[in-house]
Structure 1
Amino acid sequence: MADNFYYVEGNSSVKNLVKNLVSEITQNAGIYKWDLAYPATIDLVGASDIASEVNLITDASVTDKVDTKFTVGSSKDMCILKASTTYGKQFYLKLDRLNADLTKEEKQALVNFKSLHSYSNNGYPVHRTDAQVLEMMAGVGSTNGNSDDYNLYVSAMTKSNSLNNIVLQISGALNSAGTDLDISSVIQKEYNYRLAWYRKVQSGIKDFLPVQYWLNVTKDSINLVLRGDPSADISPYENYLTSYAYIGALKPVEDSATTDDIYNFGITTSSDIEPRYASPYGERTATGITDFCMIANKIGMPYQPHYPGFYSTNPFMDKCNVEGSRWNHKKHQFSDITLVHPVDMERGKMINVLAGDASSIYDMDKLAYKKDTTDEEYYKKFKITAPYNFLNNSANINYCIAIRCPKTVE
């Protein structure tokens, strides 16, 4: 059977990850490529933004004992892709690499900076200037402090682009200027889909951090697997993650099923942290992480959660499989993933991806599906290790996914 999709696997630094993925999807995918809706050219994706100066002092106080001004650079990774599906509809996918998250210690340093401005002296309130507080946090001058507290405060105030995740969002339209999705900035800030390849990134690791990717693309769908490089992790190697994202339409459950076109576009990602459970579209707003978010259900309720259904054994089964099925030519059981809505029920199947038992096979093992038939296909297996993903709400959280690849790929 001829391959009717584009497939690529490679690696990239975090700095160039968004640009490289967008290049694959909008330039290298041939007849299956999506369009770059914003910015105007691929060269503008990942371009260095104008460096800004951050001044830690806001009250005009002065100190020569600690640094108070820092130059912060960043990359402009925000871009929007347009999918023109085979169902005759257009949808939009936004990608961005926002500022890095604050650690618990950095959040505490912000609290400390504020609280150290005031203290009591013999019952009388006394106020410290910003400069005095910074000196105190750094442990210099006539005060006692901890330089770590100062360093943490500096780190919190000078954040640049994240090293361990990007955020994605989907919409059926752009704003009037064509520069963003037709969704308010307030909702976008609270409601997005995080795709992460690392938990905690060690200090000293910058945007040179390598990320591997595996990608297949059609006009209707994208399957993407990301894995942070274990080289930046240490034993017990629990920080690097394998994550998965699907963006696009579904194929019908049966050929005779009702046509699904107007709202047939959705997304699911994998995150290192728990979803926010924002509800801008009601209590049943999809997370797009621990479920599959579709633009709307059959009669128009927006951003609805759908859940994966597939063949599965009991997840609590006492199992010790070392070679596949001894009865069935050592085959491993994989099946299509059908998405189910709580009200609409079975809606459609995900394209070019299967779910199955992860036992006795390794990540990137190539699997033959319907071998020696006219419908023969090949897939690569991956176990999603990002703790929050759509299999969390499936029949078996121990299962893995396999994305389609050409027969010729190793």
Structure 2
Amino acid sequence: MNAQEPGLPRSRQANERLHALVPGGAHTYAKGDDQYPQDLAPVISHGSGAHVWDVDGNRYIEYGSGLRSVSLGHAHPRVTEAVRRQLDRGSNFVRPSVVEVEAAERFLATVPTADMVKFAKNGSDATTAAVRLARAATGRPRVAVCADHPFFSVDDWFIGTTPMSAGVPAQTGRLTVAFPYGDLAATEEVLTRYRDEVACLVLEPATHTEPPPGYLAGLRALADRYGCVLVFDEMITGFRWSEAGAQGLYGVVPDLSTFGKALGNGFAVSALAGRRELMERGGLRHPDERVFLLSTTHGAETHALAAAMAVQATYAEEGVTARLHALGERLAAGVREAAAGMGVGDHVVVRGRASNLVFATLDENRRPSQEYRTLFLRRLLAGGVLAPSFVVSSALTEADVDRTVDVVAQACAVYRKALDAADPTPWMGGRAVKPVFRRLA
């Protein structure tokens, strides 16, 4: 791609076709072209390892692959071969496949803090099932979610709390209350205010910040004291923090947890896991009222479960989590050095665990800025780097990371010019990128 005059005519045409046929022009809002600079939203043709190609023929080093799901790289040979073997044997039957018990055994060996597991196709269904199970087990209506975490489910109990709550009855949204991450006293205040009403505490155990010392153990104690279910959303932390998730790394066991994303390396598979006495409420071997937990036609397709087993084997045998951290540490150090060298070290800020890096773009007053994000993304794309985040895959090479740092340095030089002018507009190339959650299109 020409670093001075990036152009994507075929991608622009494909985006127009998408908008004519698909609401929002993508099947995930975070993939929408409003998340990218104007006329610079590449439509992908194919990917291999840590690289993708758009329909215009441009090649990119890619970060945040598949919204963090493709942690081993695209078309990983071990995963695709496992999938091919199952496709030749059939993918879906009228009764459970033997692959289902093999996948469950493999998952529970990988995440030994859980007693039972049920597979599904997406994280929203798994997390909503956890909420339903907690409500059934406790007989309580309210859900307490961590206010500092951006997304838990497409379902009404969560979406009703966001700026995109159109279509959700107000009374549904009012049943979900919020607590702040890292603040046990504030969480206990919520549990006290809604005493005997909160069915569960739902949170990501870690995100761009590490949990404060004793915090997760403190939440565990609060859940026990107030009789509610502790739910860890491990969609992101699963495998990236450790093969057993954040619960395995930090040694705090939730009642229920949900996994997805990296579990299938891009294939559609998620999991709800947890304590037997809770999970069995969705089964057939208990005396209580039945819970409609998860029941999906495609939830146990053999090829997706084969992908998950291959992913888990690869992580365990090849030390993937350690490699993700090493690559992320190299990238973070390089970006920070490049930003500081161009005088924007206080404005282009890398945050998060090394295996799950994000970046913030701050204006001249050090406030988050979509305008400066637009400028930054535009220069990255011009340099052949597709990076809505800096989340690494294990397919990256050190040369890929070093090339990325070079492109970041070039972007930071332009960023410095915009800061000096106190106006990024001349370098934006059009409208600013948009936040996903907003009331109006």
TM-score range, shorter chain: under 0.3
* More strand by percentage: 1
TM-score by length of 2: 0.22
TM-score by length of 1: 0.23
* More helix by percentage: 2
More relative contact order in 1 or in 2 (CA 8 Å, sep 6+)? 2
Q: Which has the larger radius of gyration?
A: 1
